[in-house]
Amino acid sequence: MIEIIHITNDNQVHTGGAQVLIKFFGQYSTNGNIKYSLYSLGEKGHTSGINLLSPKSITSLYFYLRKNNRNNVIIHAHLFPAAHLVSLTSMFIRNRKFKMIYTEHSTTAKRATFFVFRFIEKFLLNRFHIVFAVSTAARHMLC
């Protein structure tokens, strides 16, 4: 059985498309060989509590990823800062067995307009095995 763990900023379906997509995967999956689960970085579903450098966010995600370090696990990160936290914390997991996927949902991002942030983002996103973009505009923002 393959387990796909979706990691996002929050788990509130009304806040955006990524959460709706994850809910759709879980509800309408007819394949019994795939298990979907959600790991939310937000405190009780709110993104306002997320701090990219928060020791609590980083350590809880690290232990979650380490616990799920198996060959049959795919970590699918959505949105900023969830994807960046996944990339950072995975650097500290020895003998990483799980695969990492990232989906870019945003067509514009202020972090991509500055060279330094663009360089850091490319470094972090290169750690993912596959990077998807939901639209052509999102793909151009990544390039």
Q: What is the pLDDT of residues 16-68, one digit of tens each?
A: 666 777 777 777 766 678 888 888 886 544 444 455 557 877 888 899 999 99
In angstroms, the Cα distances linking 55 to 1, 44, 66, 73, 89 are: 33, 17, 16, 25, 11
Single pTM value for the model: 0.83
CA distance 19 to 23: 6
Residue 14's Cβ-count burial label (10 Å; 0-12, 13-18, 19+) is exposed
Note the pLDDT tens digit of each residue in 103-126.
Answer: 988 777 666 677 788 888 889 999
In one-letter notation, the amino acid at residue 62 is: Y
